[in-house]
Amino acid sequence: MALPALSESTLDRLGGEMYDLLYSLFPICRSITGNGVRETLKMAQSCLPMEILEIPSGAEVFDWSVPDEWNIFDAYILDPEGKKIVDFKANNLHVLGYSDPVDAKLGLPELKEHLYTLPELPDAIPYLTSYYKRRWGFCMRHNDFLQLKDGTYTVKIDSTLKPGSLTIGECVLPGEQEDEVLLSCYTCHPSMANDSISGVVLATFLGKLLSQVKRRYTYRIIFIPETIGAITYLSLNKDRVISKTRAGLIVSFVGDSGPFCYKKSRQGNAEIDRVAEHVLSHQKGNYEVRDFYPDSGADERQYCSPGFDLPMGLLTRTYYLRYPEYHTSLDNLSFVSGENLSESLGLYYEILAAFEMNKTYVNQVMFCEPYLSKRNLDSTLGSQKTLDGETRKIKWLLNYCDGKRDLLEIANKISIPIQDLEWAVQELIRTKLIKPEITN
Ligand code: ZN
């Protein structure tokens, strides 16, 4: 059975609720560790119950180790007249992520060694981090940087970097089968709306929707800091992830208005890759499908590393390197909308619905066509020029349900969405003309 369809009004309502959650999450200063992540997960928990896991700093995870925990309370630069010209409290992107604490007075040339700007986007604050090399720094608008005069500046970063833990959220929704669909989003970006947080919001609401329906597969939704979180999670759950993960999607960049973009798994022709491309080809907008590449991207780089090689793809809207607001303060609340979020939620849900429905069946009457009329599956009036739509589907299904081709392949042959086969499939099961192929 397919998942129930979502109505337009449900999606509209969820779009508003998703934007509200995103609006609340936006101001929090997050990083790969620290209280910002905990606060974020706490807010998501109000919509989707999840377990919170803390992995201590220093834990060995494959070739890496969990870093010290970073927390920040305040940061600013005072100009020679004592005026606050850069203020963490006005925008948390002003601080280089993982900055060491500092409290000093210094001249302009020395200060400039710690300042980062984007000359090509002079009104944007860049987003930069230094997780694995200890330093301190500020990110600022290039136009403000150009105004800096000689003199003595006061810099203050009130942060701590010490042993603590890395925080992960996990929600498991058991299905009829133990095989799992893994949905992964990352929780580590500070105040940007489309990168990172839109994915957290969508994964939360997708989990909520899935929790309310009968599921064939078990769904595991994880909220992790990018890269080190995925490495940590995979290290702790290696055997289960390899043996149980039937498909997965990495959720991010889902709040902007651009066309959808699906980056395939490393396998390239996994069932989830085929399903995603199928659903995208039947939605109304433009879309793009890209082959896997390991040199940039999100956590698919870990999930699709050769040891795991999981059937997991990244589904976004505008391909991230193609929007100039990416990793800047311009990726803000006005860059995303509830409408875009709800459209993205609808697409994710449709992909999962198609994945749930896709099965391989075997025709029980392999030699010549079965006699459909006696089962009320065909018109009794012969020689009609056009077949009724459902009869047509039944004939395609009977021919291609040969135990080798799944419903997706048959839907592609007749250029219809897989969901449109639902009635015909149920009738053929009811009349015992097809049976699901027995899989182990
Ligand atoms: Zn990012």
Q: What is the pLDDT of residue 115?
A: 98
366 and 395 inside one domain: yes
291 and 413 inside one domain: no
- Give the C-alpha separation, 152 to 150, whole Å: 7
Task: Please check whether residue 186 is in contact with residue 199, taking contact to mean a CB–CB distance below 8 angstroms.
Answer: yes
Task: Please check whether residue 434 is in contact with residue 426, taking contact to mean a CB–CB distance below 8 angstroms.
Answer: no
Separation of CA 111 and ligand 1 centre (Å): 26
Mean of all residue pLDDT scores within the chain = 96
Extended strands (E) in 163-267? 165-173, 180-186, 218-224, 245-251, 260-263
Separation of CA 176 and ligand 1 centre (Å): 35
Separation of CA 194 and ligand 1 centre (Å): 9
Can you give the pTM of this predicted structure? 0.96
Q: Which residues, other chains included, contact 83 with Cβ-Cβ below 8 Å and sequence gap of 6+?
A: none
Separation of CA 341 and ligand 1 centre (Å): 18
Q: What is the pLDDT of residues 171-227, one digit of tens each?
A: 999 999 999 999 999 999 999 999 999 999 999 999 999 999 999 999 999 999 999
Give buried/exposed letters for 37-47 (b at 16+ CB in 10 A, else e). bbbbbebbbee
235 and 327 inside one domain: yes
Q: Residue 438's pLDDT band (boundaries 50, 70, 90)? A: confident
* Helices and strands (H and E) in the chain: how many: 13, 19
Would the pLDDT of 380 be above 70?
A: no
Task: Please check whether residue 396 is in contact with residue 411, taking contact to mean a CB–CB distance below 8 angstroms.
Answer: no
Separation of CA 22 and ligand 1 centre (Å): 16
Which helix or strand (DSSP H or E) is residue 206 part of? helix 197-211
Q: Which residues, other chains included, contact 279 with Cβ-Cβ below 8 Å and sequence gap of 6+?
A: 347, 350, 351, 354, 417
50 and 99 inside one domain: no
Separation of CA 226 and ligand 1 centre (Å): 8
309: β partners: none
Pairing relation of β-strands 260-263 and 218-224?
unpaired
Would the pLDDT of 344 be above 60?
A: yes
Q: Is residue 107 included in any domain, yes or no?
A: yes
Task: Please check whether residue 289 is in contact with residue 277, taking contact to mean a CB–CB distance below 8 angstroms.
Answer: yes
Q: Is residue 248 included in any domain, yes or no?
A: yes
Would the pLDDT of 440 be above 60?
A: no
Q: What is the pLDDT of residues 21-31, one digit of tens each?
A: 999 999 999 99
Q: Which of 146, 162, 178 is the last residue in one of the domains?
A: 162
150 and 282 inside one domain: no
Q: What is the pLDDT of residue 2?
A: 76
Q: Is residue 140 included in any domain, yes or no?
A: yes
CATH number of the domain encompassing residue 95: 3.50.30.90
Q: What is the pLDDT of residues 33-63, one digit of tens each?
A: 999 999 999 999 999 999 999 999 999 999 9
Task: Please check whether residue 39 is in contact with residue 28, taking contact to mean a CB–CB distance below 8 angstroms.
Answer: yes
Q: What is the pLDDT of residue 387?
A: 65
Separation of CA 218 and ligand 1 centre (Å): 28
Separation of CA 288 and ligand 1 centre (Å): 20
- pLDDT > 90: what percent of the chain? 94
User: For the chain, how many structural domains are there in total?
Assistant: 3
- In three-state secondary structure terms, 361 is strand
Domain extent, residue 99, equals: 69-162
Separation of CA 195 and ligand 1 centre (Å): 5
177 and 158 inside one domain: no
Q: Which of 103, 137, 162 is the last residue in one of the domains?
A: 162
Separation of CA 124 and ligand 1 centre (Å): 15
